[in-house]
A and B are shown apart, each in its own frame.
Chain A
Amino acid sequence: MRKPLGAIALSIAAAVLLTSCGQGDTAAEGEGSAEAGTLVVYTNSNSEGRGEWLQAEAAEAGFDIEIVGAGGADATNKLIAEKNNPIADVVFGLNNVYYEQLKKEDVLEPYTPEWSGEVDESLADPADEKAYWPLVQQAIVLAYNADTVSADEAPKDWPELWTEDEYKDRYERVTGMGGATTQLVMAGILSRYREDSGELGVSEEGWSQIEQYFSNGVPAVKDLDLFARFAEGEVDFGQMPSSSIPGREEAYGVTSGAVAPEIGVPYAIEQVAVVKGTDQQEQAQEFIDWFGSAEVQGEWAQEFDSLPVNEGALEQTKPEVIEFDEQFTHQDIDWTFVEENLAGWVEKIELEYMQ
């Protein structure tokens, strides 16, 4: 009996040792966002090196930030779920629909940044006391592989993909509803079929469009990029936010085109805001002042082909980005209507149309 006792004593000692270091750790963990100066930033705009770039640049400017990345809708849900005990201090990159939702749920702390005069106020929070301010905007487009499809052959608008036989089974359709881009595409289609007496404000015709979108498309493959599939010739059409196009063209060696429907395309106006209940309000505000400034937004635009809202940053924006953007008109979407119904739409699509 002696020997096993010894072994067990040893393992207990090891366990105790682990916990004692552990407790130190958890004590620090418990403070969460209160940790000396670390700002927790939630965003959906951290891929393709954006997160790393921002973290490094912010560190140089004296901000210690930690980035938590998630899809637009997922990040929104997370913020709402955590509203009674927020982890995040700042949220940026989501589009106005989500910010409106966050504001309704009382997740945001109103703040007017130093650079508020340099941006078009109509793109910010419509309320008088503004809780969120715009950083960049981008068109959500239907992209096609220009190496195999000429501009004439490409469809003129989204619905052609599933109504015209020549496009069926050649476009990529989504397999999850958590992404901001996806939800905007859906909003862009559904709001064309607004009918107040219809299910969730949409006519039957509208829902049938969605059904056909799902039944005629090629399912997306998790983490296989649309442009990679262009290169492989698996699909020829699919959704894409405009700022992601140049980088991907280069990465996968394809040329792409974008469809410019007459009705216009949905625009994502990506915003920034302070999260309510942060214990580092001042820090968070300073970070927003820095990040939204003409200088940093200009660098961001240079690095990641974005189209900044800050007028001062436009000078540093790549001319081809501006040119690309000029071919589109803004689709006229009633954002209040979208915001009210989006959660219901997503749920219905998840349950009934997603296969």
Chain B
Amino acid sequence: MAIKIVLIAAVVLVALVLAGGHGARRLALRRLGLAAFAAVAVVSILLPDTLTWVAQKVDVGRGTDLLLYALIVVFFSYLSTRYVRDRRTLRQVTALARRVALIEAPAPRPVIGLGHSGADGVDNAVCEDGVERNDGGDGPA
């Protein structure tokens, strides 16, 4: 029973860390988490029995089982951070690729007065007008 409370608390904590805050606050939380992880790791290396002791406190048979539970929580929290980050990266890559594509694309229309669209219809008057003025302006210069 106790393990359920511990696991749910861990999941909620991870979710809060993922969701809450940004920038410096989140970074600080992450660093605290890392420090806690290192401390627990060192203790469990020096005194392997503590892990089993803790496990029994929360009604889990062995220390290895506790480790497995912790690993699962960490794995899913990693997956969710990864997912959020991947989506952001994809958005950035998309924006970048779109800029590249648009920069390299040809102009949508021929310059006024040149090209096919000037050959037919409504724009015709405008185009011819433009051409004449250009010719007039360019001549003396």
Verify that A and B bind, or say they do not. no
